Structure 1
Amino acid sequence: MTKQILKAEVASIGGLQLKCSARGFEFLIDEPENVGGTNQAMNPLEALLCSLGACKMMVCRFFYQSKQINLKAMRVEVLGEIDSDRLKGNPDIKVGFSKITTNYYIEADNTATEIQTFVDFIEKTCPVKDTIVHAPEMDIQINP
């Protein structure tokens, strides 16, 4: 088994804006104005949903030909249900998403059964979904 370490860095650039970096690529994270941000980028939860959807799309792109899917077009919509009262101080409410729904929109010359089998494969093969469903060990280090 070959293990690799992926590295991401997040730095505050003022207010609630954050610069996210990995492998020389960057994007911003922000919050809507109604919670103190400038609304110049998606928030962390939206980025998580995008990451999940992007991972599912990557699995599709990697494997659709070998799975004999005659793909013409595909997109995914990922919806996250969250109760914002937890962030307002109610300790009895889950702080993260309580439900995540993925809506697949697939145009392919395949039967409904073949498409369902392929979607099942995507769901089982997506590393981001696996990370969310089967939480990894978390190690926290505080550095000077």
Structure 2
Amino acid sequence: MTPLNALMCTLAACKCITARIHAEKQGIRLHDIKVSCNGVHDAAAFFGAKDAIPGFTEIKTTYQIKADNTPEEIERFSKFVDQNCPIGYTLQNPPKMASTLEPWID
């Protein structure tokens, strides 16, 4: 598994957990849910291609939701999950990042 694969698994798991936690509160009678996430990226960037982007340029989530609700209610719920998933939020609103370099200690 590559780190990018791990990120997609993390995003899908977070959306699944978000759905499970909020289903009842949102009036969704959830029986089962499957979430998969796939991203588009150019691996050439990792190997030094100057004209390639080193991360995802697109991420798509696919939901399969088994619930005793109307298709419209399930659609609204999937949008709620997208808006309330912490990993999804972080990807859409990247935090400030910083790095430090510390001396090697044997």
Q: TM-score, normalised by structure 1?
A: 0.69
What number of residue pairs does the alignment pair up? 103
C-alpha displacement of 1:44: 0.7
Task: Spell out the pairing of 1:56-135 with structure 2 (5 A cutoff).
Answer: 56-135=15-94
State the distance in 2 between where 1:94 and 1:48 align. 17
Task: Spell out the pairing of 1:44-63 with structure 2 (5 A cutoff).
Answer: 44-63=3-22
The one of the two structures with greater contact order (alpha-carbon pairs below 8 A, sep at least 6) is 2
Show structure 1 runs of 5+ residues with no match.
1-41
For residue 98 of structure 1, give the secondary structure of its aligned residue in structure 2. Answer: strand
State the distance in 2 between where 1:128 and 1:94 align. 21
Q: Which 4+ residue blocks in structure 1 deviate beyond 4 angstroms?
A: none
State the distance in 2 between where 1:72 and 1:59 align. 15
Kindly report the root-mean-square deviation, in angstroms, between the aligned alpha carbons of the 2 structures.
1.0
Show structure 2 runs of 5+ residues with no match.
none
1:21-58, Cα deviation, whole Å (9 max, x unpaired)? xxxxxxxxxxxxxxxxxxxxx22111100110111011
Task: Report the structure, 1 or 2, having the larger helix content.
Answer: 2
State the distance in 1 between where 2:24 and 2:2 align. 34
Q: TM-score, normalised by structure 2?
A: 0.92
Query: Percent sequence identity over matched residues?
Result: 37
